[in-house]
Amino acid sequence: MTVRVSVNYNDPRWKRFDLTRSVRLLVSKVVQIHQIKLNDFSLSILACSDAKIKELNRHYRKKNKATNVLAWPAFHCSFNFDQNYQSFNRNNYLFLGDIAISYERCLREASVQNIQFHEHCCKLLVHAILHLLGYEHDVSVRTKRMQLMETRVLNSVLTKRPKLYNI
């Protein structure tokens, strides 16, 4: 499996955090845990500031405030996890979508939650990746399903595991 990650560093402070490696690992774990028949795919990350993510949130969600992470799936439906996506690896990569993540917001939230910056970023990135794959948290059943998947992925990659959810 090959994961192409394109990172645009709108905020240079993100260069201290290896987004490409982290996203590749997290996406691979999601695919592995779900047993999705998906070989080669790509996604893009905008590593930005609160000001930029606020602008994006205002433009796309009509919310005039900064947030921690935003995701724009390339597919507007849930992945059919039984479908075979292997054919995409012959000529091109399946594009999953775009993610924007705010440095200041991640730093503040990690501090408030008393967890390491890297761990909190991984949590937010998993959340965004799951949105790219069709997960939602608009009703309690789907919220629990998404939280369970986030926890499973994070528990498989983080050595010092934060207490994430009471499920």
Q: pLDDT for 137-153, tens place per residue?
A: 877 777 788 888 888 88
Alpha-carbon distances, residue 104 vs 33, 72, 91, 123 (angstroms)? 31, 21, 39, 15
Residue where the block lists tokens 């949130």: 57
Higher pLDDT, 92 or 7: 7
Residue where the block lists tokens 């982290």: 22
H or E element at residue 115:
none
**Mean pLDDT of all residues belonging to the chain:** 83
Residue pLDDT, tens place only, 62-118: 999 999 999 999 876 555 544 554 444 445 678 889 999 999 999 999 999 999 999
Q: Which DSSP state fits 8?
A: E
Tell me if 148 sits within 8 A of 30, measured CB to CB.
no
Of 119, 128, 131, 130, the C-alpha closest to 163 is 119
Measured between its terminal Cα atoms, the distance across the chain in Å is 31
Q: Where are the domains of the chain?
A: 2-157
Higher pLDDT, 86 or 17: 17
Which SS3 state, helix, strand or coil, does residue 69 take? strand
Alpha-carbon distances, residue 36 vs 13, 15, 135, 143 (angstroms)? 34, 31, 14, 20
CATH of span 2-157 = 3.40.390.30
Look up the pTM and report it: 0.82
Lowest-confidence pick of 45-49, 54-58, 157-161: 157-161
Share of the chain above pLDDT 70, in %: 82
